[in-house]
Every structure is written in C-alpha cells, then in structure tokens.
Amino acid sequence: MKLSVIGAGYVGLTTAACLAQIGHDVFCSESDTEKLAKLQHGVMPLFEPHLEDVIHAVRKAGRLCFGSTEEAIAWGDAIFICVGTPPLPNGDADLSAIEGVARSIAKNASGYRLVIEKSTVPVQTGGQLQKHLSVHNKNGLSYDVASNPEFLREGSSVEDFLHPDRIVIGVDSPRAEGLLRQIYEPIINQRFTCPIHSDCPKRKEPVFLATNTNSAEIIKHASNSFLAMKISFINMVANLCEVVGADVTEVAKGMGLDPRIGPAFLNPGIGFGGFCFPKDVQAFIRIAEKSGCDFSLLREVEKINQTRVEHFIEKIRKELWVVRGKKIAVWGLAFKPNTDDVRFAPSIALIKALLAEGALIRAYDPEAIEKARPILPDVTYCADAYQAAEGADAVLLLTEWEEFRKIDWSRLATVVERPLIIDGRNVLSREDVSSNGFHYIGIGGVSATPQVVQSLIAA
Ligand code: UGA
C-alpha cells in the first residue's frame, strides 16, 4: 500500500522504516528542514538500534522517501500522524502540531484518506480530528479517522514494531478496520523478512485488538501510567527497605514471581524519565480532572518520582560529607540505555543539582553526550568510563548501559581518588565491585563494603 508518515521523530521514523520493511511504499515527512536534509542524505538524526540499517535497506529498495508534509499528504492512501505532543505548562498535551496536520490534510487532499493518529493524544482527540477535517475540507475529501497507539520503547523500537505483543486500533468504521488489518497483515501473521534476527525465531503472533477510537486512546495513556505507577511503587518499597534493613532486589523478585504482578518494571532507581512517562502521566491526570474524575493516585506516582533525584543526592551527601569541590564521575546521561535521548532524563536534573552544590562533574555516555552538551555545558565530557572516573571521589551509575556491567574493577581502582560506587539502577554486581576494594551503595538497602574494610571493622 502507499502510506504516509508525518513526523520523523523516534516514533515516526521507526514507523516509516518498519512499514517499508514489511513491503509498503512509504513517504515520510519532516518539518524541521535541517533534520529533513540529513534524512534525505542518509544521515541519521537520532540513535536507535537497527533503525539506520533498516532505513538504508528500504531506501535502496526504493520503498522509503523523505520530503515535505504537503508531499506526504498527496502520497498515501493512509496517513499516520506521528508529530510531537509535548506538555504545556499546565500538564495538558500540546496538540497544535496535530491540528496543523489535520488542517493541511483537509485543505490539500482529495479522494479518500485514512487518517491515523499514532502520536500519543488525550482521549477524544479522534473526535476533534474528525471535526477539523470536516470544517476545513476544501476538495471533497472523504476520510476515516483511526487511532493506532504505539507501544515502542526507545532503544528497542524496531523490535517492538516488528514483533509486538499487541496491535491496538481504534476505529469507527469497517473500512478503517479493514485497511489497518491490511497494513499490519505481515506483522499480524509474522510474515516478513526480519532485519534484526538472521534466523528469526518463530514468534508468537500478536493480538490484533480493534476498539472504538476513545478506548484506543485511553489504552495508550492508561498503559504508560500503569507502568509508571509500578515504578513509583517499587521506589517507595525501596525507601522502606533502606530504613528497615530489607533488600529491594529480593523483595521485587519475590513479588514478581506472582504472575498477577510480573517482574517487569519493578526495578527501583533514580526515577522514570524520557519523553513519554512524565508527560503522559501528567496529561492523563489532566484529562481525568477535566472529566470530573479524581485520579489523585497518579498525582502520588508523579510526586514519588519527583523525589527520586533528591533521595539519590542525599546518599551522595552522606558519603562525601562536603560536596563542594569534589570530583564526581557520572556514568550514563540518557534516560535509559540504547538511546541518545536525554529529554526529562533524571541524570540531567541530578547533575544540575550537584553542579549547583559546587561538584565537578566528569561524565561519560556511549551515545548521549552530544545531546547533553548544550544542556549541561559545565560538565567535562569523557571518552570512556575510566577517563570519567580519573581522580573521582565517587562514581555514580545513572544509566544501565551494558558496558558498565563489564567494567574492569581492578583497572578502575587505579584511577579513582576514592573507591566509591553509587549505583542508581542496582545493576552492578556488588560482589565484583566490593571484592575489588570499592564501597558499593545501591538503591533500596543494597550495599556492600569491601572485604578489607569489613575486616578492619571486625577487628
Ligand atoms: C515507554 C513505554 O514503555 C512504551 O511502551 C511506550 O510506547 C513509550 O513509553 C511511548 O509512550 O512512546 P520508553 O519511554 O521508551 O517507553 O521507556 P521505558 O523502557 O518504558 O522506560 C521509561 C522510564 O522508566 C525510563 O527512565 C526507565 O529508566 C524507567 N524505568 C523503567 C524504571 O525506573 N524502572 C523500571 O523497572 C523500568
């Protein structure tokens, strides 16, 4: 099918590339002219595993082009809207980009179009889209509006798109449902050339769930908010564990063995960040409020998350006594591993607070340095984890990149001023770290003292 994707952010670019990968002819537009020029010249504007290879292959096969919004609107029988919906100061989602696209479609398109909202939007946005398409309709356009929320995690978005657990569509007509089934048919039946797995294992076919548009919109916001709630819940349990002498990793394991709870998203840490959870929880609270529903449960989720950075800094203060003038190594800037995205990353708030207290920050991240640099100009950026730790009074692990689990601790011990690791994600082996003479402090009652110090205490 001829498909258009409006917006080449993480979601739009992954959607365009993967739809082309499964055989469609895709036109993807981007309004940022610098970013568009990059894409047209084969340069990636962001880091996302596998995406560059997929884009390269589908462009070579002639199934993916980049250009303007007007060209995209003219191209596709179905148009996926993947533009940004950033938070407004009051927590509402800013829908001006979506409105702009709707207006453009109504004014420029003719014939039939299936208009699909993939951007994360508040419930009833589909209704507004319908209305605006009708108000500005200039050329006798006939259309359906559908919701097709995405469940793509940054860092594994290509895999999530091609091998999803579920495909949710919100439709109000059989024609729209039929077209979306046709678009996703290769994924529903897991029949396409997989660009990730050379011997693609037989995957479970995803559930294809068709609902009405309002329900699909709520499924998206409710899913993200529920996951955020799980994280804040385990973070509070972690606080309790610290006080009463329990170990949150053991507690989370014990809880997660119950299939009704499940082990995912029970990793405590410095809080959830990124461009989805913080804004989606806020937007969901606002929609509930506007609809007269008191969703104060989610206010608590947000409130707990906002205390995580200060809680972590308190651990640093407790160890360093005086923060001013101390050299602190930061491992990880991205809001999670396998991405270069630092939007709403807890690391950014944490570093800003430490700088304000007079600390000297030396930071390393495998991918996110260029995105962090303009936001944090007073940080010394380093080429690797060891360089960042040179002369450090403390090493903070803020993003759980795989390479930090493979650190040569004996080498690291030769470069630091003081062997102290504070692990904001509980991912390092406390045995490995402490057996190399480091004092290890994690989250939720997880810590280990080096053997040499233990024997001194015992004596
Ligand atoms: C999230 C959802 O997981 C996707 O399903 C959704 O499509 C996406 O938002 C979106 O709305 O576009 P993402 O923000 O990429 O994906 O990242 P997650 O893996 O969900 O992590 C979000 C944050 O929670 C990160 O800061 C992560 O470090 C934190 N987190 C996650 C924890 O602190 N603990 C956990 O156990 C899990």
State whether the beta carbon of 276 lies less than 6 angstroms from ligand 1. Answer: yes
Helices (H), 22-112: 33-40, 51-60, 69-75, 96-108
233 lines ligand 1 (CB under 6 A): no
Closest residue by Cα to atom 11, ligand 1, is 276
Alpha carbon nearest to ligand 1 atom 18, residue: 153
Question: Which pLDDT value is given to residue 201?
Answer: 65
Closest CA to ligand 1's atom 1:
153
Q: What is the pLDDT of residue 197?
A: 85
In order along its 459 residues, the chain shows pLDDT tens digits of: 999 999 999 999 999 999 999 999 999 999 999 999 999 999 999 999 999 999 999 999 999 999 999 999 999 999 999 999 999 999 888 999 999 999 999 999 999 999 999 999 999 999 999 999 999 998 889 999 999 999 999 999 999 999 999 999 999 999 999 999 999 999 999 999 999 987 776 678 999 999 999 999 999 999 999 999 999 999 999 999 999 999 999 999 999 999 999 999 999 999 999 999 999 999 999 999 999 999 999 999 999 999 999 999 999 999 999 999 999 999 999 999 999 999 999 999 999 999 999 999 999 999 999 999 999 999 999 999 999 999 999 999 999 999 999 999 999 999 999 999 999 999 999 999 999 999 999 999 988 877 655 555 555
The response to whether residue 273 sits with its C-beta less than 6 Å from ligand 1 reads yes
Tokens representing 14? 């992954």
pLDDT at 204: 83
How many A from CA of 153 to the centre of ligand 1? 6
State the distance from the centre of ligand 1 to the C-alpha of 427, rounded, in angstroms. Answer: 17
Active site residues: 276
Q: How much is the pLDDT for 126?
A: 94
The pTM is what? 0.94
Q: How far apart are CA 115 and CA 148, in angstroms?
A: 10
Q: Give the per-residue pLDDT at 12.
A: 98
CB contact at 8 A, 235 and 437: no
Question: Does 179 contact ligand 1 (Cβ within 6 A)?
Answer: no
Cα 273 to middle of ligand 1, angstroms: 7
Helix (H, G, I), strand (E, B) or coil at 256: helix
User: What is the pLDDT at residue 33?
Assistant: 96
> Burial level of 45, CB count in 10 A (0-12/13-18/19+)?
middle
Cα separation, 145 vs 441, whole angstroms: 51
pLDDT computed for residue 451 by the predictor = 60
